[in-house]
Amino acid sequence: MAFKINKKIIKITKCLYKFKCLHGKVCSGCKNVLGPLGEDRIFVKPSKGKSQDCSYTIPYGKSYVCRCPTRVEIFRKYGV
């Protein structure tokens, strides 16, 4: 399933993973969304060692916070 996200959001996102998430192949670093955190962040439970590669994720307890504009919009729009 391909996700449709506003081009302005994609343009401001600097993605190391070539926007895999737009094609339903959610990056292993942020595939397990635990829930929203305000308007522009989501809680994620990354696969082992994957989130450290992404500049949009920051550690928060045993989880991480994802600030990727594209990934957050996918969650807001599609719930995944």
Alpha carbons within 13 A on the beta-carbon side of 44: 30
pLDDT, tens digit only, all 80 positions of the chain: 688 999 999 999 999 888 888 887 666 567 788 899 988 999 988 766 555 578 898 888 878 899 999 999 999 999 88
What pTM was computed for the model? 0.84
Q: In what order do the strands lie in the sheet with 42-44?
A: 33-36, 42-44, 63-66, 57-60
